[in-house]
Amino acid sequence: MSETLDQIVWDAHFQVQLPEQKAALQIIAPVSLKIWQDYWRVARQESRGWWHGATGLIAKRLNVTHDEWNRMVRFHNPGTATTFGDASHDYSYLIEAAGITISAI
């Protein structure tokens, strides 16, 4: 199930520009709220120390290519970074908050 959620989360990165359009972000996860929360609890623990946080960890688990990573970065920040924080591309907290869960049948 974790692989499926990883892919859902990665795909969500291409839905709208973040953080500017975070109100329009909507993720439907076919799991219970408990599974969604547990997924993020584990992701947060495992991504400690990663510069790009859970987003970077999920990309690694999915074997996201360098080109695909750069496509995601350009999607969210087509210009150059203006602050140090712009250089980190961890949008996972926004995706976690936008998640709507539905229990799998």
CB atoms within 10 A of CB 33: 13
Residue 58, pLDDT score: 95
Residue 9 CB burial class (10 angstroms; 0-12, 13-18, ≥19):
buried
- Is the pTM above the cut of 0.75? yes
Residue 59, pLDDT score: 95
Q: Span 22-50, mean pLDDT?
A: 92
pLDDT in tens, 64-80: 999 999 899 888 876 66
The Cα 8–Cα 11 span in angstroms is 5
85 pLDDT tier (thresholds 50, 70, 90): low
Residue 82, pLDDT score: 62
Q: Where are the domains of the chain?
A: 2-28+39-101
Residue 64, pLDDT score: 96
More confident residue, 31 or 101: 31
- In percent, the amount of the chain with pLDDT more than 70 equals 86
